Amino acid sequence: MDSFLSMVDISKHFQGIQALHSVSVAFRKGEIHVVIGENGAGKSTLMKVAAGLYQPDHGRILIRGEEVALPSAMAAIGHGISMIHQELMPVPQLTVAQNIFLGRERVTRLGLLDRRALDTDARRLIASIGLDLDPRARMLDLSVAQVQLVEIVKAVSFDSEMLIMDEPTSAISDKEIGKLYDLIFELKRKGVAIVFISHKLDEIFKVADRITVLRDGHHIATCAAAELDKASLIALMIGREATQVARTRQATIGAPLLQVEGLTRRGLFENISFQVREREILGIAGLMGAGRTELVETLFGLRRADAGRVLLRGREVHIRHPADARRHGIALVPEDRKLQGLNLKASTGRNISICSLGRFTTGGVLRKRAERKAVDAMIAGMTVKVPTQETPVTSLSGGNQQKVVIAKWLMTEPDLLILDEPTRGIDVGAKFEIYALIAQMVAQGKSVIMVSSELQELIDMCDRVIVLCEGKLTGELEGAAIEQAAIMRCATGCIHA
């Protein structure tokens, strides 16, 4: 079968990080081609190159054997390539029809929007691929799955010959997933090339004709789906040579500090029970959409649980707001430091002290000298590389920004520090500095929950690891049992350990 799109020796780096290393892969029309790999393997980067969103540093892109340049998303669309992103970005106040034809609206002779023609065109297009959507419905009134389907209709409206779907089922129900599968198979029947990025092994074997595996930015294999099973696919994803790395930290685990019993947030996670002991690092593993971040946000009071109990040192506590969590000695370093962790308009010093200003306030007046002294001590203790406290936090490197976020919460003197992806997007040197800080926190008597997509990070740092799969706890591993293959089996729902 001839290839529609061929990517040859594609390389791409970002700020010194090599995201893709000479990757070559081809995609055929009338075929569902799954691209899989661990978080950070390069899947989305490769597909964004194909969709014209990133420009490769090296390599060639060929369509039907002819080399082309894809300098923009519109250039890719012009060549018949559309991409539906994991983060959906509809215009919520507009209708389904207006979103489908956004920027390509039909107008009357007077230059006014021809709503009737727009609705008619949208209805015809929706019907042509067998969907049941009201073109006049506002996007904000639709479910996540319906928004996903509108994005597919929009891509098809460009007469796309290749449709790239990045984790399309990560936020929709089983019933809605069934509808999505039906649509994908119909598009395949019509000869569209489907590229499907997914972490879910069961899903992959339901839809895939061929599977490409990436690992650490390298192309590992492209095989017919029929040639693989779950075990062999996991081995390709993590590397057959994967071995457990010995821990260098000797922990003295204490009594239970936090106990979680049957915690449930409908649609996100269900009946989660675990405990965190004093001076313990508990890892939380799972693939995208597993409910890891949502779980720790609930523990911190950013979300309300629908059921379950949380106990601290054996006494039930009710955490309905982050202020409740702070009062009980719980702190959260969030997943996105720039969006959720930092005040980007403030100085480095104020970012560190912002959650502890009450300690430096008397009669409503801030004692600036005391604040500066405490911040200086925190900067020194955390080895934050910054000229002065007044330096804008935006001028710091990613690793130093992450240290600032951690310092902010350590200044509140928590008993339990929750770290959500603590080393995401920072260089190797800064990673090991943060690992040392985490070990130091535990040596000082604190407990840590670490959410991470990097399996080796969990293996190296954690005393125990719990694993989530699609909102359910599917495994708990301790000591020598914490190894890559076991985590991946639990994370993909293969076993309950």
For 175-227, give the DSSP string.
Answer: HHHHHHHHHHHHHHHTT-EEEEE---HHHHHHH-SEEEEEETTEEEEEEEGGG
Q: Are residues 274 and 230 in the same domain?
A: no
Does 335 reside within a domain?
no
pLDDT score at 245: 34
Report which residue type is found at 192: V
Task: Write the CB contacts of 483 (distance below 8 Å, at least 6 apart in sequence).
Answer: 242, 243, 244, 459, 477
Q: Mark which of 187, 210, 238 sits at the end of a domain.
A: 238
Q: Where are the beta strands (DSSP E) in 29-161?
A: 32-36, 58-63, 66-68, 81-84
Give the range of the structural domain holding residue 463, as residue numbers without chain letter: 242-329+415-497
Q: Mark which of 238, 261, 278 sits at the end of a domain.
A: 238
The CATH number of the domain holding residue 180 is: 3.40.50.300
Beta bridge pairs of residue 61: 7, 68
Q: Are residues 289 and 365 in the same domain?
A: no
Q: Are residues 320 and 434 in the same domain?
A: yes
Q: Mark which of 188, 215, 238 sits at the end of a domain.
A: 238
Q: Are residues 28 and 72 in the same domain?
A: yes
What are the respective helix, strand and coil percentages of the chain, to the nearest 5?
Answer: 35, 25, 35
Q: Are residues 217 and 299 in the same domain?
A: no
The torsion angles phi and psi of 480, rounded to 5 degrees, stand at: -65, -15
Q: Are residues 322 and 347 in the same domain?
A: no
The torsion angles phi and psi of 231, rounded to 5 degrees, stand at: -65, -45
Q: Are residues 397 and 423 in the same domain?
A: no
Cβ-in-10-Å burial (0-12, 13-18, 19+) of 108 comes to exposed
Q: Listing from the earlier edge strand, what are the strands of the sheet with 81-84? A: 81-84, 162-166, 193-197, 32-36, 210-215, 218-224
Instruction: Looking at 390-496, list the stretches that DSSP marks H as alpha helix, in order from N- to C-terminal side.
Output: 398-410, 428-443, 455-461, 484-491
The torsion angles phi and psi of 13, rounded to 5 degrees, stand at: -130, 155
Q: Are residues 269 and 395 in the same domain?
A: no
247 alpha-carbon distance from chain centroid: 27
The pTM of the whole model exceeds 0.75: no
pLDDT in tens, the chain (497 residues): 679 999 999 999 876 678 899 999 999 999 999 998 876 688 889 999 999 999 999 999 999 999 999 999 989 999 999 998 766 678 888 899 988 888 887 788 887 888 888 889 889 888 877 777 899 999 888 877 778 788 878 877 887 899 998 877 765 656 667 777 888 898 899 899 999 988 777 788 999 999 999 988 999 999 999 999 888 888 888 775 433 333 444 558 889 999 999 999 999 999 999 999 999 999 999 987 789 999 999 999 999 999 999 999 999 999 999 999 999 999 999 988 888 889 989 999 999 999 988 888 888 888 999 999 999 999 998 888 888 999 999 888 777 888 999 999 999 999 999 999 888 766 555 677 788 888 888 988 899 999 998 888 899 899 999 999 989 999 999 988 999 889 989 998 755 55
Give the closest residue to 164 by CA, choosing from 276, 44, 284, 253: 44
Q: CA–CA separation, 173 vs 108, rounded Å? A: 41
Q: Are residues 485 and 365 in the same domain?
A: no
What are the C-alpha distances in Å from 4 to residues 44, 70, 194, 356? 19, 15, 11, 58
Cβ-in-10-Å burial (0-12, 13-18, 19+) of 234 comes to buried
Does 15 reside within a domain?
yes
Q: Are residues 83 and 178 in the same domain?
A: yes
Q: For the chain, how many structural domains are there in total? A: 3
Q: Are residues 257 and 313 in the same domain?
A: yes
Q: Are residues 228 and 375 in the same domain?
A: no
- Say which DSSP state 17 is in: E
